[in-house]
Amino acid sequence: MSSVSSQPQFRYTQPPSKVLHLRNLPWECTEEELIELGKPFGTVVNTKCNVGANRNQAFIEFEDLNQAIQMISYYASSSEPAQVRGKTVYLQYSNRQEIVNNKTTADVVGNVLLVTVEGEDARMVSIDVLHLVFSAFGFVHKITTFEKTAGYQALVQFSDEETATSAKNALDGRSIPRYLLAEQVGQCSLKITYSAHTDLTVKFQSHRSRDYTNPYLPIAPSAIDSTGQVAVGVDGKKMEPESNVLLASIENMQYAVTLDVLHMVFAAFGDVQKIAMFDKNGGLQALIQYKDVQTAVVAKEALEGHCIYDGGFCKLHITYSRHTDLSIKVNNDRSRDYTMPNPPVPMPQQPSQNPYTGNPQQYHAAGGSHQQQPQGGWVQPGGQGSMGMGGGGYNPYMAPPSSSSMHHGPGGHMPPHHYGGPGPMH
């Protein structure tokens, strides 16, 4: 098989033009490099660099049509391809007869910079680090960060165009100083253009937005405990702002998970204020609100990846929610506000109301007598070891169902005993 690229270096698909279209250029090819490439064939009077989705294309315009024809003809017959920085450049006539340099938004000088943070760990660069970097050139008024298809980006607002231009010229293409980044964060570089914005709107101080001109702006809970350090997740990469509200997703849901079951599980770590359950993406999710962030952190660390029922059933995946105070309008089998005085007690759930089709006997013990909903699976164990049988009370854990009792009809599984707290993940 030939190692030579099947892509032609030149094309005659367009009629001759003074303007040539160049492809496969190196990243951030400069105007000087383009002029140098066309210089042997004539006078390059205009260029347009870094066009296309990958910014690896350009146009050059010669003073005379014959000069453009000469360049195309030369490389069509030459064994040496056109090259820039060692990369083979592909040439063809453009369908335009001249280059009209309409300035794009990125070319118009302004006081707000659009910053793209590049690198494997770009999302772990905090807003405080960005503030330190850009403050070296003048007072930074506001910063907002966000994620787009281009990656992790920020808008940085200065008081005037001169300060913004000074910061852009000094930082564009440069790496963030190593000493400003946490140990786990790899090298990150900055790509900077001008933004069309002139005054950013920041509604509250948070880990994603800051207004350094307004000290009276409300502070979002996610920013209260900020120390300027990057929050690193258990995987060493993920940054997840902590919250007093947890989002729990339940997978492998072979048995019904009711609101009372969730309350029992999460109340083992502190007072649960509110719970809201909902269906999303074909599965069950729930928002669980604690009084403070610290309690939520403990619960998340203890419960993440654990299963509510033994045997790997109803596995919990927990993240922090952006919510800080859930709005519960009514107490029912899908939502509950435990802070309300004397909240109405929902009627016992009938089989027909169960969204997870099951048998009325699914909460009965194997012996056939009525068994209450488990109440002790996640509470302090009693006098009988981990099974929580203190004081002669009932056993809150059901024995695994026998093969003969596993199915009582479509979806009618008997739940096995609850998993007794933190331990090996099922």
| 24-45 pLDDT, tens digit each | 998 778 888 898 899 999 998 8
How confident is the model at residue 421, as a pLDDT? 43
- 105 occurs within a structural domain: no
Q: Assign 102 a pLDDT band (cuts: 50, 70, 90).
A: low
How confident is the model at residue 56, as a pLDDT? 86
Interstrand relation of 90-93 and 10-11 (parallel, antiparallel or unpaired): parallel
Query: Which residue(s) pair with 286 in the sheet?
Result: 248, 277
176-208 pLDDT, tens per residue?
A: 998 888 888 888 999 999 988 899 988 888 888
Most confidently modeled range among 3-12, 147-156, 343-352, 407-416: 147-156
For the chain, the distance separating the N- and C-terminal CA atoms, rounded to the nearest angstrom, is 51
SS3 category, 40: helix
How confident is the model at residue 101, as a pLDDT? 63
Distances (CA, A) of 377 to 125, 152, 286, 418: 41, 43, 19, 6
How confident is the model at residue 223, as a pLDDT? 52
Placement of tokens 């140990």 in the chain = 183
The residues near 365 (Cβ < 8 Å, ≥ 6 apart) are 371, 398
Q: How far apart are CA 20 and CA 310, in angstroms?
A: 69
Q: How far apart are CA 152 and CA 127, in angstroms?
A: 11
Query: Which residue(s) pair with 179 in the sheet?
Result: none
Q: Note whether 266 and 319 are same-domain residues.
A: yes
Q: Note whether 53 and 118 are same-domain residues.
A: no
Q: Note whether 185 and 270 are same-domain residues.
A: no
Question: What phi and psi, each to the nearest 5 degrees, are found at residue 325?
Answer: -150, 110
Query: Which residue(s) pair with 87 in the sheet?
Result: 84
Last-in-domain residue among 51, 66, 93: 93
Q: Note whether 179 and 256 are same-domain residues.
A: no
Q: Note whether 274 and 313 are same-domain residues.
A: yes
Q: Residue 348: exposed, middle, or buried by beta-carbon count in 10 A (0-12, 13-18, 19+)?
A: exposed
Count structural domains, the chain.
Answer: 3
Q: Assign 407 a pLDDT band (cuts: 50, 70, 90).
A: very low
Reply yes or no on whether the pLDDT at 239 is more than 60: no
Q: How far apart are CA 66 and CA 44, in angstroms?
A: 12
Q: Note whether 324 and 268 are same-domain residues.
A: yes
- 403 occurs within a structural domain: no
148-178 pLDDT, tens per residue?
A: 766 889 999 999 999 999 999 999 999 999 8
Higher per-residue pLDDT: 398 or 90: 90
Rg (CA), the chain: 32
Q: Note whether 266 and 324 are same-domain residues.
A: yes
252-264 pLDDT, tens per residue?
A: 878 888 999 999 9
- 259 occurs within a structural domain: yes
Placement of tokens 């074909």 in the chain = 282
For residue 50, which of 144, 191, 236 has the smallest C-alpha distance?
Answer: 191
- 228 occurs within a structural domain: no
How confident is the model at residue 226, as a pLDDT? 41
How confident is the model at residue 59, as a pLDDT? 92
CATH number, domain with residue 155: 3.30.70.330
Q: Note whether 159 and 74 are same-domain residues.
A: no
Last-in-domain residue among 320, 337, 354: 337
Q: Note whether 118 and 206 are same-domain residues.
A: yes
Q: How far apart are CA 238 and CA 233, in angstroms?
A: 5
Last-in-domain residue among 309, 337, 365: 337
CB 173 within 8 A of CB 126: no
Reply yes or no on whether the pLDDT at 12 is more than 80: no
The residues near 379 (Cβ < 8 Å, ≥ 6 apart) are 264, 268, 388
For residue 224, which of 294, 275, 157 has the smallest C-alpha distance?
Answer: 294
Q: Residue 118: exposed, middle, or buried by beta-carbon count in 10 A (0-12, 13-18, 19+)?
A: middle
Tokens of 130: 């960005």
CA dihedral 309, 314, 316, 322 (to 10 degrees): -130
- 88 occurs within a structural domain: yes
Average model confidence (pLDDT) across the chain? 75
- Maximal CA-CA distance, the chain: 102
How confident is the model at residue 68, as a pLDDT? 93
Reply yes or no on whether the pLDDT at 317 is more than 50: yes
Q: How far apart are CA 85 and CA 370, in angstroms?
A: 80
- 250 occurs within a structural domain: yes
Q: Assign 416 a pLDDT band (cuts: 50, 70, 90).
A: very low
Helices (H) and strands (E) in the chain, counts: 7, 18
Neighbours of 148 (CB within 10 A): 8
Q: How far apart are CA 374 and CA 418, in angstroms?
A: 8
CB 246 within 8 A of CB 140: no
Reply yes or no on whether the pLDDT at 107 is more than 70: no
Distances (CA, A) of 397 to 75, 113, 286, 375, 422: 80, 60, 23, 9, 15
Domain of 37, in residue numbers: 19-93
Q: Note whether 124 and 166 are same-domain residues.
A: yes
- 59 occurs within a structural domain: yes
How confident is the model at residue 179, as a pLDDT? 87
Higher per-residue pLDDT: 226 or 333: 333
Reply yes or no on whether the pLDDT at 406 is more than 60: no
- 219 occurs within a structural domain: no
Q: DSSP label at 407? A: B
Q: Note whether 130 and 67 are same-domain residues.
A: no
The residues near 333 (Cβ < 8 Å, ≥ 6 apart) are 258, 259, 346, 349, 353
278-292 pLDDT, tens per residue?
A: 988 778 899 999 999
Model's pTM, two decimal places?
Answer: 0.35
How confident is the model at residue 161, as a pLDDT? 93
Q: Note whether 257 and 295 are same-domain residues.
A: yes
Question: What phi and psi, each to the nearest 5 degrees, are found at residue 104?
Answer: -85, 170
Reply yes or no on whether the pLDDT at 231 is more than 80: no
How confident is the model at residue 322, as a pLDDT? 84
Question: What phi and psi, each to the nearest 5 degrees, are found at residue 178?
Answer: -55, -35
